[in-house]
Amino acid sequence: MDRGQFSSKFGFIMAAAGAAVGLGNIWGFPTQVASNGGAAFVLVYLILAFCLAYPALMAELIVGRATRHNAVIALPMLTDVPLLKLGGKVVGIAGLITVAVILSFYAIVAGWMFASALEPVLTTLGFTQYGQWVSTFGLSRNIVFTVLFMVATVLIICGGVRQGIERWSTRLMPALVVILLLLIAYMMTLPGALKGLEVYLVPDFSQVFDGGLLVSALGQAFFSLSLGVGCMLIYGSYMSSKENIVQVGAWVTLIDVGLAFVAGLLIIPAMYVAQHYGVEIFDQNGQLLGGDTLIFKVLPSLFAQMGSIGVFVAFAFFMLMSLAALTSSISLLEVPVAYVVESHNVERKKASWGIGALITAFSLIIVFNFEALFGLVIAITTRYSQPILGIFFCVYAGWVWQRNNALTEIKKGNAGAQHSIFWAVWPWYVRFVCPVFILAMFIHSL
Ligand code: PHE
């Protein structure tokens, strides 16, 4: 069958970085920084992302490109042992289910982002009532924006690898960086920003070895790089064999981690600017406010304080969030769509709309039972499912697969790979270091 392929190195890097950079970076990371000791968390996160998440990302990319299939087919291809084949299939299918569930809550949050972008525009244009509706948590608003966001995701995925994913990622990613930098530059001119910068950049070293902090940072790194669900595996399967896969993977990691870092440069100072304007940023226990409160309450009240420029800043900020979410949601939807297209010969458009509809239905079940399901679904997928599956991906790449096959694949775009530092370290990492650390993290989270 004719499989899609990214047209260039730039296209691949933008698409894969777009998949990685999302709500996890711009919302999750700064929030975690706020609730986990500021700069100490930043430091630990940077170390873990490069030392642990990058090798795991490489495992998925290499297996994907070598097999040129979705995870359900790819993992069984790595071995001749029937039981291991079956195991690989189970892991692949578990990844599919996880990814579908992640998308179902992701679409809800992304819908809020888009709604929050519309609010200042509607209010300024005099549609105060609608502005109120889009910015207030409510059933009808949540339904409308979840569905809207899912439709946008499906439309892009219908276009396939080059016309859909690559085309939109190469547009949206640079736009995102520009908006982010403009916002930071503006934020730095406001009173209170420097105080925030200090909290963000000057670590309290006594906190660096805190067990809870280590675990949160590792989990954040794995979620942020989209690991453990076959998402990076499928992107790897669309990468040309001419590319130096080690280098491309390093770029994706650098961009993902870099953008999380840069997002923190915006959000943490923004909180202190908000405080300067009289917005409450600490809870009763003296902790910095995190989660929904930070993004959907503190920031809008900050923007509202800024007068007319606040309208633009609010719009730009929430559009940025929506775009980042969109390049990730397409990668989430691509995983099950690629599976249905390749394994069951369904036409791409049909598969995209069909699976999109199913996931939307599940999203709506969450919306209708918000209190009971929303937090639960996030916890099960990101805290349990992703790390456990991540271990299996590393085990399949490191133990089940023949070492030589991995080397052959790496050498394709990089003839000297055998004598590189990467090859000296990576096989050992995916076999021992990654599984053991992820396991430790999982046990800890129990
Ligand atoms: N990495 C994405 C983010 O940071 C989320 C994601 C997880 C995307 C798993 C795909 C698969 O927002």
For the residues of 328-360, what is the DSSP string, one character each? Answer: HHHHHHHHHHHHHHHHH---HHHHHHHHHHHHH
Q: Are 269 and 39 in contact (CB under 8 A)?
A: no
Residue 242 has pLDDT above 70, yes or no: yes
Model-level pTM?
0.91
> Is 3 a member of any domain?
no
Question: What are the pLDDT digits (tens) for 395-428?
Answer: 999 999 998 999 999 999 899 999 999 999 999 9
Per-residue pLDDT of 63-84, as tens digits, reads: 999 999 999 999 999 999 999 9
CATH number at residue 420: 1.20.1740.10
pLDDT at 1 over 50: no
Question: Does a structural domain hold residue 4?
Answer: no
How many CA atoms does the CB half-sphere of 302 hold within 13 Å?
Answer: 29
Minimal-distance CA residue to ligand 1 atom 7: 226
Nearest atom of ligand 1 to the alpha carbon of 20: 1
* Cβ-based neighbours of 206, under 8 Å, separated by 6 or more: none
Identify the pLDDT of residue 441.
67
pLDDT of 335 > 50? The answer is yes
Bridge partners of residue 288, in order along the sequence = 282
Work out the percent of the chain whose per-residue pLDDT is above 90: 60
Would you say residue 260 lies in a domain? yes
For the chain, what's the residue count?
A: 446
267: pLDDT strictly greater than 80? yes
More confidently predicted of 207 and 336 = 336
CA of 226 to the centre of ligand 1 (A): 4
Identify the domain containing residue 236 by its residue range. Answer: 9-445
Rounded-to-integer distance, Cα 61 and Cα 49, Å:
16
Higher per-residue pLDDT: 305 or 412 = 412
Cα–Cα distance for residue pair 220/160, rounded to 1 Å: 29
Confidence at residue 84, expressed as pLDDT on a 0 to 100 scale: 97
User: For the chain, what percent of residues have pLDDT higher than 70?
Assistant: 98
Q: How confident is the model at residue 446 (pLDDT cuts 50, 70, 90)?
A: low
Asked if the structure places residue 265 within a domain, the reply is yes
For the chain, the average pLDDT equals 90
- Domain assignment present for residue 105? The answer is yes
Report the nearest-CA residue for atom 10 of ligand 1. Answer: 226
Examine the pLDDT at 442 and tell me if it is beyond 70: no
Task: Determine which residue's CA is closest to atom 12 belonging to ligand 1.
Answer: 22
Select, from the ranges 157-166, 197-206, 255-264, 373-382, the one with the highest average predicted confidence (pLDDT). Answer: 255-264
CA atoms of 276 and 306, how far apart (whole Å): 12
Ligand 1: residues whose CB is within 6 Å? 19-20, 22-25, 102, 223-224, 226, 229, 231, 328, 331-332
CA 225 / ligand 1 centre spacing (Å): 6
Is the residue at 308 inside a domain? yes
In a domain, 1, yes or no: no
Above 70 in pLDDT, residue 166?
yes
- Domain membership of residue 2 (yes or no) is no
Structural domains in the chain (count): 1
Torsion sign, CA atoms 358, 363, 367, 369: positive
